[in-house]
Amino acid sequence: MELSAEYLREKLQRDLEAEHVEVEDTTPNRCASSFRVLVVSAKFEGKPLLQRHRLVNTCLAEELLHIHAFEQKTLTPEQWTREQQK
């Protein structure tokens, strides 16, 4: 499996029906072992943070076996809109 920020972005967008996804490879030499993601999805509505993170982790279960560090931020569309206005 070829891990890349683009691959993870497309998978999160498709599987979580996300309206916005940002993925950054945070590995110092960009060797795709450390990522930071922002996912905005209506599937997060009414769910606490832990359940949101579990949705992301389930979506990327296979990929997380090969990732050493993974940071995620999960927002509903409403939260994303509010954050954009700051």
What are the sequence ranges of the domains in the chain?
3-79
Residue range 46-63, pLDDT digits in tens: 999 999 999 999 999 999
For residues 42 and 19, the answer to whether their CB atoms sit within 8 Å is yes
To the question of domain 3-79 being in CATH 3.30.40.230, the answer is no
Q: What is the mean pLDDT of the chain?
A: 94
Residue 2 has pLDDT above 80, yes or no: no
Cβ 59 vs Cβ 41: under 8 Å:
no
CA distance 73 to 37: 6
Strands 20-25 and 69-75: unpaired
**Is residue 82 scored above 90 in pLDDT?**
yes
Would the pTM of this model clear 0.85, i.e. be above it?
Answer: yes
Helix H segments across the chain? 5-15, 49-59, 61-64, 77-84
